[in-house]
Amino acid sequence: MSAAAETETARKVDVLTEEVAQLKENIFLPENKELKSFYGLGPAASKVYQVKRGLSLGGYGEGFYSKVLPDDEGTDNADALRFVLYTGYKFTDRIIMNTELEFEHATTNATVSSSGGSVSLEFGYLDFLGWDWLNARAGLVLMPLGFINEIHEPVYFFGNFRPEVERVIIPSTWRELGTGIFGNLWHPDLEYRTYVSTSLNAEGFGPSGIRGGRQSGNRAIAEDLAWSARLDYTPNQVPGLLVGMSTFMGDTSQDERFAGENVSALLRLSDFHLQYNWNGIWFRGLYAFGSLNDAEQISQQLKEPIGSQFYGYYLEAAYDFMPIFFPDLPTQSLQPFFRYERYNPQQRVPAGFRPDESQDTQLFTAGISYKPHPQVVLKLDYRNFTLGEGERPADVNIGLGFIF
């Protein structure tokens, strides 16, 4: 082969090598990139913010086996609970698309044991990045309340089931069609998000709370809109500390008449939250509370008591013993935990209605999480319920979860 031919061949190899490297970089997040949270999202959901350009893929999955105690109080079950695919695309450094597609309960077909699962778009939005203090977001967005609604990847919460307070009082996973702004205020440690969005629909409320009123972007009635906001402070002087609050306010009547009357059905829901995670110590606390105007007319229309005031809180603590027992395994963790919850979606009901005391709940959860890898978790937990009226059996749950 002539020298000229060898030079041309070498040039083509170099060009091909560059193109392959660029393709790999654009299609997926390189493995040596740290999984970290951006703009209020979970680390796996944030992968698109770390690619230079083009497509990013991520996701998570979780499943469990649950045994009811005692045996004659219910049915044991096992479930491929969720598989989620995050797909993002970075058009430019300033324009980013991010989506979450969720598959629940393994199949959308009904089986002999259960009804079918579902496929849902959990979020899907465009970000327009401007400055540290001001960026814009539009699309199907997660409401910025509590801990779990935005960061619900299984390696980042204890137990096989998300806290009930963040399911019953804060109805995660809760998303609405809307637009808003986010960024850091005055100081890099002070982060905010605020949206104007579609609201809930009071037609879906029930004795167990407001969860059934979520419209989830599915041809949502938009006669009434809502406002939500969140503020978090993570001081550099205290590593691992997060203190914050969030709120939601919106009319939920959607211009419908309840018990023959025009009502506002204004819903207010707020929470205060605190988290501390440092040197193996984990603590999390949250208090959520809300009120609903015109609950009397809504209760009359739906023929069941709807809470005019409701609340819930939980305290959670854990400690990572792995550095003590196995200091040569720095990427693994072994965390026993305990969580106490108290919640009541019917703290107060309208005159003429008797509250359903079975909704007034105390829940003790204790268990252990083992991470053989930071992105993989094995879970064991025990839950014990105490109701204001009636009984709910305890359960033991074994499960797993992963992110990628």
Render each residue's pLDDT in the chain as its tens digit; 404 residues.
566 656 666 666 666 767 666 655 555 444 556 789 999 899 999 999 999 999 999 999 999 999 999 988 889 999 999 999 999 999 999 999 999 999 999 999 999 999 999 999 999 999 999 999 999 999 999 999 999 999 999 999 999 999 999 999 999 999 999 999 999 998 889 999 999 999 999 999 999 999 999 999 999 999 999 999 999 999 999 999 999 999 999 999 999 999 999 998 999 999 999 999 999 999 999 999 999 999 999 999 999 999 999 999 999 999 999 999 999 999 999 999 999 999 999 999 999 999 999 999 999 999 999 999 999 999 999 999 999 999 999 999 999 999 99
pLDDT at 29: 44
User: Beta strands 54-69 and 118-131: pairing type?
Assistant: unpaired
Domains of the chain: 56-85+94-403 (2.40.160.10)
How much is the pLDDT for 306? 97
At residue 252, the pLDDT reads 97
CA distance 193 to 175: 14
For 366, the enclosing helix (H) or strand (E) is strand 361-373
Q: Are 81 and 98 in contact (CB under 8 A)?
A: no
Q: Nearest CA to 292 among 277, 302, 306, 313?
A: 306
pLDDT score at 366: 98
334: left (phi over 0), alpha (psi -120 to 50) or beta: beta
Greatest Cα-to-Cα distance within the chain, rounded to the nearest angstrom: 98
pLDDT of the residue at 39? 92
Of the candidates 101, 179, 102, which has an alpha carbon nearest to the alpha carbon of residue 139? 179
Q: For residue 68, what is the enclosing H or E element?
A: strand 54-69
Report the DSSP beta bridge partners of residue 100.
86, 123
Neighbouring C-beta atoms of residue 30, cutoff 10 Å: 10
In whole angstroms, what is the distance from residue 191 CA to residue 305 CA? 38
Q: Report the predicted TM-score, pTM, of the whole model to 2 decimal places.
A: 0.90
Measure the CA–CA gap between 102 and 81, rounded to whole angstroms: 10
